[in-house]
Chain A
Amino acid sequence: MRIVCPFCGERELGEFTYLGDAKPVRPAAGASEDEVFDYVYLRDNVAGETSEHWYHGGGCRAWLKIARNTLTHEISSVEPAAGVGAAKVGA
């Protein structure tokens, strides 16, 4: 598998680490135990298009959000996580 890192270009799978579903959003402080439980544990087992967190730890250390089809392994988009490239925020 190859992933096109938005910063480094196309790289082989071995440079990346898979974390998991990128859809759940960490609840704000003070959220109920149930909300946090859902965030920590509940995942859809999707056959098709998924959004996933991957880490380019063997490269530029950027966390990436990758849209991938679990049936075809096709990657349709790769985006940096919100905090990557923060130096250009407001530029």
Chain B
Amino acid sequence: MVSLAQTHRLASGGLIDRSAPLNFSFDGKILAGFQGDTLASALIANGVKLVGRSFKYHRPRGILTAGSEEPNALVELRTGARREPNTKATTAELYDGLEAASQNRWPSLRHDLMAVNQLFAPIFVAGFYYKTFMWPAKFWEAIYEPAIRRAAGLGRAAGVADPDHYDKAWAHCDVLIAGSGPAGLAAALAAGRSGARVILCEEDFALGGRLLADGGTIDRVPAAEWIARTLAELATLPDVRIMSRTTLFGVYDGGTYGAIERVNDHLPSPPEHQVRQRLWRIVAKRSIVAAGAIERPVVFAGNDTPGVMMASAMRTYVERYAATPARRVALFTNNEDGWRTAETALRAGLQIAAVVDARPEVSAAHRALAAKAGFPVLNGSVVGVDGGKDGVRKIAVSLTGGARAEVEADGLAVSGGWNPAVGLTSYHRGRPKWQDDISAFVPDSAPPGMVAAGAANGAFGLGACLSQGFAAGAAAAQSAGCSGTAGTPPVADDEAFSLTPLWHVAGKGKAFVDHQHDVTASDIELAQREGFESVEHLKRYTTLGMATDQGKTSNVAGLAIMAAVSGRSIPETGTTIYRPPYVPVAIGAFAGHHRDENFHATRLTPSHHWAAEQGAIFVDTGLWKRAQWYPRAGEKDWLESVTREVKAVRSGVGFCDVSTLGKIDVHGPDAGAFLDRVYINTFSNLAVGKARYGLMLREDGMVYDDGTTSRLAEDHYFLTTTTAKAGPVMQHLEFCRQVLFPELDVQLTSVSDQWAQFSVAGPKTRDLLRKIVDPAEDLSNEGFPFMGAREVSLRGGIKARLFRISFSGEMAFEISVPARYGDALVRNLMLAGKRFGVTPYGTEALGVMRIEKGHVAGPELNGTTTAADLGLAKMMSTKKDFIGRAMAGREALAAADRQVVVGIKPTDKMRRLRSGAHVIPKGEIPGPDNDQGYVASVCFSPTLDQWIGLALVERGRERIGEIVHAHDPLRGEDYDVELCNSVFYDPDGGRQRG
């Protein structure tokens, strides 16, 4: 079955599926493992000890832990577009064909030339970058940073788009539980039995937490049997949902939690239609953090040598994966729990070289065990490790009393005690408190609705975990309003813990606190000497705990060392602030569906698919896709198409979809009074059947939006906004209605999507419309004068609205039909207009014609202009209050030297204009002191056969005819332009009124 030898795999045992062998590769070498392995356990089973090089010194590194706290064993997983750097081998599930590569080494893992950095170790101390690469400043970006990034750093990103899909989902529950260890399962049992909707998240692919490695007896059956029994019961409860491969990573306001589900990370690639990962936002009335505890290292010289491993991790590899990290194991502990690893090793038939116990007393039972198994128990501490890239060979021990001893071993298990996983409970800036009996921080407060239970709460005994979890589950269900009964709690005995704190053993050689960022004990001591005593400063100066593991194995040890050197207690020294995410979360998961063409929702006009059939070029305007121009065969560029469209409108007839304008029904007896307050001009006196151009200000006096509003009935106005401001204006009007003027009887509804609206413009507009509109409707200038607005019947039976308004300056109507007829309307316009050469035009031609006509649009309505700046001061009623009235009267807003809208033409008729150019007095050298404004909108005017524009220029309207200088440093252009009337086309308005 297994073609390749797994030299360090036990013959039996473990939770791996030996009937499902898997092949994988590491740095190109083919290795074998089993279903149920992690990459780390499979590497261990194959005798691989060296898995990576460290960040700064390129020191050989192995596997330190068996979970998501791993700082060392980071690999590049997968290849090509799916290559994922900095993946923890300890959590990556093995699959057939998995490809992993070590990172941060060159040319190879065993012969890493960058290891030369170790020779320069004395200069790579805390604050090295700050001290060394200060001057000259311009060297930083050009030389220092690229060089440092090549030498240091972690894995390589794929560099191409991620081919996989991610999505996001919401979940809701009464009780959310983090962790499926004894506390978490007991909590789920109690909450579920009480009738609560329960979600339990477990980051591992197997459920049981430490029970999977440490076993034990619960309710008088082996832990494995209890897990199976519990899961079976939970499966019968209707609203208990167990989510494995799911890490709860963040806690947000109002009982919202973030979780990342690795749906298909355990497969080479997601099956068709499935996602790689799913980001969950979970809304929970109550939550229970049963996330366990993380075993912490002791800091001693050589503690980063491959083969040095957390004691609990070693148990996990042996018990859960039947993989032996060493054959002759030394154990270094300061607590009772560490001794379990000795028991595990013996059971697995491994040799024990020695147990080094830092405590003054070792229990009689352990002494007896040692005697029976024939290994020495050394009272003292490990002070050094002899070994390199091939792993631990020899361990130096300093015995209590001063004597030295050496122990030969190929693996060293270390236990410095356990730190409760206080991350989730501290994400609302909660600071954990110090608990002396376990020498660890435990949660003090927690975000609203959250409690910690079990090891996460500092209760390390199995019995305590079960009872705390069960009680928390029952209480959470109760307070979430569930009235069922939790029944009988599971019971187990508590084991002894008995720890004597030990953080750092002084010795010769580098002693690592933060393995991932290569922060040593002496870095912390140096930082303290240089005055960085606050833990927040210490963290940032040394980068302790700032790597992708967020210091899960290093933070507490780091501040314990800081406490020791600064002569304070650990609680006095305090912790840094905890922030989510608890584990790195892929950006792709945060984006979910929202990437590429789905980056945001898209709005399509009713004529969109017709326009697409015509080959229209579309432009994104906000969420909309709008037809920008309609190219025809043989046209060489956009300008040619747009010029043709403009000429066709000016000489015949064309139409443009303007459905994107915001459209709002304003109803009610006070509709007119309401509009009088939101517009600067008066609408209450508008006759039914008439339209009027209106201008809105912000309360600060600047122009907010403009548009045409028609009165369709005594108590019904139809208001239009610009495309860009449709949503904001609706929100603003609702604010006015609900907050500012609650006494008015007025109702607002968006009808933007109800109407397909087209501008039909040009001298032949009436000819065309007469083919569409019922012959009984009078479209003559008398029957339907300029600014008229009313409902008409169309041939074939449907109703439409006609508005005689013009943005182009031509004789024009806007026609609107219920949106589902929009497609039919364009097709009918094309059909009826064939004999008139009807021409669909896009937003570019629309823009050209509005500039020719001097109408302001977005570039001029830019939030810094007043009605007077736009030449619309006369619209401002003096007879009423309206939004912005008072502030518009401020001195500066009425100043004579304001930049106002004016037309511009290049003095050289052949020259192209560009918006953004600065306007400077002619003959002066451009500078901030003589900058008199800027060019806002430009176009090539087919009507004038030259480029024209609208500019905002100081006193512009008083300077008509003056030649000024246009300075465009961005494009390196300088040229003269003449200030002119902003209405280039038909200044008397005869055409649109005709």
Touch between A and B in complex, CB under 8 Å? yes
Binary contact track B129-172/A, C-beta < 8 Å → 1, others 0: 00000000000000000000000000000000000000000100
> Are A83 and B731 closer than 8 Å at their CB atoms?
no
Cβ of B265 within 8 Å of any chain A Cβ, yes or no, is no
Shortest distance from the beta carbon of A11 to any chain B beta carbon, whole Å: 10
Among B448, B739, B740, the one with the most A-chain Cβ atoms within 10 Å of its Cβ is: B739
Return the contact of B255 from the options A2, A19, A36 (Cβ within 8 A).
A2
> Do A1 and B256 touch (CB < 8 A)?
yes
Chain B residue nearest to A61 in the complex (CB): B734
The verdict on B737 contacting chain A, using a C-beta distance below 8 Å, is yes
Q: A36-B886, A37-B887 are in contact. Are A82 and B739 (CB under 8 A)?
A: yes
Given contacts A2-B253, A53-B739, A73-B253, contact A86 B734 (CB under 8 A): no
A1 and B738 contacting across the interface, CB-CB below 8 Å: no
Residues of chain B lying within 8 A (CB to CB) of residue A40: 699-700, 887
In the complex, A29 Cα to B734 Cα: how many Å?
20
From B255, which residue of chain A is reached at the shortest CB distance?
Answer: A2
The answer on a CB contact under 8 Å between A55 and B731 is yes
Closest to A82 in B: B742
A62 and B252 in contact (CB under 8 A), knowing A2-B283, A40-B700?
A: no
Task: Let me know if A9 is at the binding interface, CB within 8 A.
Answer: no
CA distance A29 to B887 in the complex (A): 12
A36 to B881, CA, bound (A): 12
B741 at the interface (CB under 8 A from A): yes
Q: Which residues of B contact A26 (CB under 8 A)?
A: 699, 740
**Minimum distance in angstroms from A29 CB to a CB of chain B:** 3
Q: How far is the CA of A27 from the CA of B884 in the complex (A)?
A: 12
Kindly provide the distance from the CB of B33 to the nearest chain A CB, expressed in whole angstroms. 43
Would you give the 0/1 interface string for A26-39, flagging 1 where the beta carbon is closer than 8 Å to chain B? 11111101001101
* A82 near B887: Cβ-Cβ < 8 Å: no
Cβ of A83 and Cβ of B739 under 8 Å apart?
Answer: yes
- Answer whether residue A78 sits at the interface, using C-beta atoms and an 8 A cutoff: no
Q: Across the interface, do B734 and A63 meet the contact criterion of CB distance under 8 Å?
A: yes
What residues of chain B lie closer than 8 Å to A61, measured between beta carbons?
Answer: 734
CA A61 – CA B734 in complex, angstroms? 8
- CA of A63 to CA of B738, assembled, Å: 7
Q: Are B735 and A19 within 8 A (Cβ)?
A: yes
With beta carbons under 8 angstroms apart, the residue of A3, A30, A33, A55 that contacts B881 is: A30
A86 to B740, CA, bound (A): 13
- Name the interface residues of A6-55: CB closer than 8 Å to any CB of B: 10, 12-13, 17, 19, 26-31, 33, 36-37, 39-41, 53, 55
- Checking B170, B253, B745 against A86 with a beta-carbon cut-off of 8 angstroms, the contacting residue is B745
Using Cβ atoms and an 8 Å threshold, which residues of chain B touch A30? 881
Q: Are A57 and B742 in contact (CB under 8 A)?
A: no
CA distance A3 to B255 in the complex (A): 11
Cross-chain contact of A33 among B254, B735, B886 (Cβ < 8 A): B886
Contact B742 A29 (CB under 8 A): no
Known: A36-B887, A83-B742, A86-B745. A12 touches B256 (CB 8 A): yes
Taking the nearest CB of chain B, how far is it from the CB of A86, in angstroms? Answer: 6
Residue of chain A at shortest CB distance from B283: A2
Rounded to whole angstroms, the CA-CA distance of A49 and B188 in the bound complex is 37
Given A40-B700, A53-B739, A55-B735: A33 and B252 within 8 A (CB)? no
In the assembly, what is the distance between CA of A12 and CA of B258, in Å? 13
Closest residue on chain A to residue B743 by CB atoms: A83
Measured CA separation A12–B887 after assembly (Å): 36
Q: Is B568 an interface residue (CB 8 A)?
A: no
Partner of B735, one of A63, A73, A75, A86: A63
Q: What CA separation (Å) do A78 and B742 show in the bound complex? A: 18
Task: Check B735–A82 contact: CB distance below 8 A.
Answer: no
- When the two chains form their complex, are residues B741 and A83 in contact, meaning their CB atoms are under 8 A apart? yes
Q: How far is the CB of B288 from chain A (nearest CB, A)?
A: 19
B731 pairs with A1, CB closer than 8 A:
no
Interchain CB contact under 8 A, B737 and A83? yes
Q: Which residues of B contact A31 (CB under 8 A)?
A: 886
What's the nearest-Cβ distance from chain A to residue B108, in Å? 49
Tell me if B890 is interfacial: C-beta within 8 Å of chain A.
yes
Question: Are A83 and B738 touching (Cβ within 8 A)?
Answer: yes
Knowing A1-B254, A2-B255, A61-B734, the reply to whether A29 touches B739 (Cβ < 8 A) is no
How far does the alpha carbon of A43 sit from the alpha carbon of B448 in the complex, in Å?
A: 30
Cβ–Cβ < 8 Å partners of A2 in chain B? 253-256, 283
CA distance A30 to B742 in the complex (A): 19
Chain A proximity of B15: nearest CB distance (Å): 39
Q: Quick check: B887 and A81 within 8 Å, CB to CB?
A: no
Asked whether any CB of chain A lies closer than 8 Å to the CB of B889, the reply is: yes
How far apart are the CA atoms of A74 and B448 in the complex, in Å?
A: 10
B738 & A62 in contact (Cβ 8 Å cutoff)? yes
Are A57 and B886 closer than 8 Å at their CB atoms? no
Q: Distance (Å) between the CB of B882 and the closest chain A CB?
A: 9
Task: State A81–B885 Cα separation when bound (angstroms).
Answer: 24
**B448 proximity list for chain A (CB < 8 A):** 74
CB contacts (< 8 Å) of A84 on chain B: these are: 738
Smallest Cβ-Cβ distance to A37: which chain B residue: B887
**Given the complex of chains A and B, what is the CA–CA distance between A82 and B735 in angstroms?**
10
B679 to chain A, nearest CB (A): 15
CA distance A48 to B12 in the complex (A): 62
Chain A residues with Cβ below 8 Å from B745 are 86
Instruction: Tell me the nearest residue of chain A to B448, going by C-beta.
Output: A74
Chain B proximity of A67: nearest CB distance (Å): 15
**Which residue, A2, A27, A74, has most C-beta atoms of chain B within 10 A?**
A2
A13 neighbours in B (Cβ, 8 Å): 253-254
* B526 CB, nearest partner CB in chain A, Å: 37
Contacts of B889 in A (CB 8 A): 33
Q: A17-B731, A57-B731, A61-B734 are in contact. Are A1 and B252 (CB under 8 A)?
A: yes
Residues of A within 8 A of B253 (CB): 1-2, 13, 73
A86 B742 Cβ-Cβ under 8 A: yes
A41: chain B residues at CB < 8 Å are 700
Nearest CB in chain B to that of A29: its residue? B881
Residue interface mask B885-896, A partner, CB < 8 A = 1: 111011000000
Contacts of A28 in B (CB 8 A): 881
Residues from chain A with Cβ under 8 Å of B283 in the complex = 2, 12
* CA of A27 to CA of B731, assembled, Å: 21
With a cutoff of 8 Å between Cβ atoms, the chain B residues found around residue A82 in the complex are 738-739, 742
In the assembled complex, how far is the CB of residue B892 from the closest CB belonging to chain A, in whole angstroms? Answer: 12
B251-292 with Cβ < 8 A to chain A: 252-256, 281, 283
User: In the assembly, what is the distance between CA of A29 and CA of B886, in Å?
Assistant: 9
User: How long is the Cα–Cα vector from A69 to B531 in the complex, in angstroms?
Assistant: 36
CB distance from A66 to the nearest CB of B (A): 12
Bits for B709-747, please: 1 = Cβ < 8 Å to A, else 0.
Answer: 000000000000000000100010011011111111100
Q: Give B880 Cβ to nearest chain A Cβ, in Å.
A: 8
Q: Contact: A33 with B740, CB < 8 Å?
A: no
Within 8 A of A (CB), among B97-131: none
Question: Which A residues lie within 8 Å of B281 (CB)?
Answer: 12
Question: How far is it, in angstroms, between the C-alpha of A27 and the C-alpha of B885 when the chains are bound?
Answer: 12
B256 contact set on A, CB distance < 8 A:
1-2, 12
Which residues of the other chain, A, contact B742 by a CB distance below 8 angstroms? Answer: 81-83, 86
- Chain B positions within 8 Å of A75 at CB level: 254
**Chain A residues with CB under 8 A of B735:** 19, 53, 55, 63
Given contacts A31-B886, A83-B739, A83-B741, contact A55 B734 (CB under 8 A): yes
Which residue from chain A places its CB closest to the CB of B885 in the assembled complex?
Answer: A29
Tell me how far the C-beta of A12 lies from the nearest C-beta in chain B, rounded to whole angstroms: 7
> Shortest CB–CB separation between residue A3 and chain B, in angstroms?
8
| Cα distance A21–B96 in the bound complex, in angstroms | 59
Q: Report Cα–Cα, A33/B700, bound state, in Å.
A: 11
Residue of B737, B742, B885, B886 ringed by the most chain A CB atoms within 10 A: B886
| Closest 4 pairs between A and B when the two form their complex, measured CB to CB | A83-B742, A29-B881, A2-B254, A82-B742
Residues of A within 8 A of B (CB): 1-3, 10, 12-13, 17, 19, 26-31, 33, 36-37, 39-41, 53, 55, 57, 61-63, 73-75, 80-84, 86
Give me 16 A-to-B residue pairs in the complex whose CB atoms sit less than 8 angstroms apart, sorted by A's number.
Answer: A1-B253, A1-B256, A10-B254, A13-B253, A27-B886, A30-B881, A33-B887, A40-B700, A41-B700, A62-B738, A63-B738, A63-B739, A73-B254, A82-B742, A83-B738, A83-B742
